[in-house]
Chain A
């Protein structure tokens, strides 16, 4: 069963506009959420994270919003730049001991920023 879902396989945005990537989860045990960015032939690199005690975290052009009641999070990139074109993965983890350091990933969203 897919506990973390990214329902949009791809997204195309004009340079300078906002990119919004969405992610839904089903497991109520998840209390830490991360976004990773991946270029072809490279490993995923950490972008931004949010703890379940917050509903927003901002880092430069990147903001993550968490809606616990809806089990939904989103990543906003403003303004979008061509270098942001990559695959974006949403991931979640739970601090319960049996989960350890395991991250559960979504299938990814391909973001294309057109210049």
Chain B
């Protein structure tokens, strides 16, 4: 079974640009979550999508947005990039069953550098 796939692995952008990151979940997983990892800050929750709907959202500005397609693949978009957006962006998938505690399966991440 293929794991969570994120593309691209590395991105370099300049301030003010926008960027789109892609995530393909494990087959059969309907929930996709996005996290931002910066040095010393752990992983900060961005949002979760389930059945093409945003189900949960973290405390990030509106410049961060996402969407999910009917095949459960997800994209994350960051507009008007700032230097502080430089981070590792991680995607995680799960079955999305809220009735049980679930562990998340993570991709390798997209390392975004904003110059």
A11-19, A60-68, A69-77, A99-107 - the one binding chain B = A99-107
- Whether B56 contacts A101 by the Cβ 8 Å rule is yes
- Whether B55 contacts A100 by the Cβ 8 Å rule is yes
- Whether B104 contacts A101 by the Cβ 8 Å rule is yes
Interface centre among A31, A46, A51, A103 (most CB of B within 10 A): A103
Using an 8 Å CB-CB cutoff, how does the interface string of B26-39 with A read, 1 for contact, 0 for none?
00000101010000
Contacts of A105 in B (CB 8 A): 35, 42-44
- Whether B103 contacts A46 by the Cβ 8 Å rule is yes
A-B contact count (CB 8 A): 71
Known: A102-B45, A104-B45. Contact between A32 and B101, CB under 8 A?
A: yes
Q: Which of A37-61 contact B (CB under 8 A)?
A: 41-46, 49, 51
Tell me the B residues contacting A by CB distance below 8 Å.
4, 6, 31, 33, 35, 40-45, 48, 50, 55-56, 58, 90, 92, 94, 96, 98, 101-109
Contacts of A34 in B (CB 8 A): 103
Classify the interface of chain B: helix, strand, loop or mixed.
Answer: strand
- Whether B90 contacts A101 by the Cβ 8 Å rule is no
Using an 8 Å CB-CB cutoff, how does the interface string of A3-41 with B read, 1 for contact, 0 for none?
010100100000000000000000000011010100001
- Whether A49 contacts B103 by the Cβ 8 Å rule is yes
Identify the closest chain B residue to A36 (Cβ).
B106
- Whether B42 contacts A41 by the Cβ 8 Å rule is no
Identify the closest chain A residue to B93 (Cβ).
A101
Known: A101-B56, A104-B45. Contact between A51 and B109, CB under 8 A?
A: no
Interface size of A in residues (CB-CB distance below 8 Å)? 31
- Whether B42 contacts A108 by the Cβ 8 Å rule is yes
Interface centre among B31, B43, B55, B108 (most CB of A within 10 A): B43
- Whether A43 contacts B90 by the Cβ 8 Å rule is yes
Distance in Å: Cβ of B92 to nearest Cβ of chain A = 8
Distance in Å: Cβ of B74 to nearest Cβ of chain A = 13
- In the bound assembly, the distance between CA atoms of A95 and B42 in angstroms comes to 22
Identify the closest chain A residue to B3 (Cβ).
A43
- Whether B101 contacts A93 by the Cβ 8 Å rule is yes
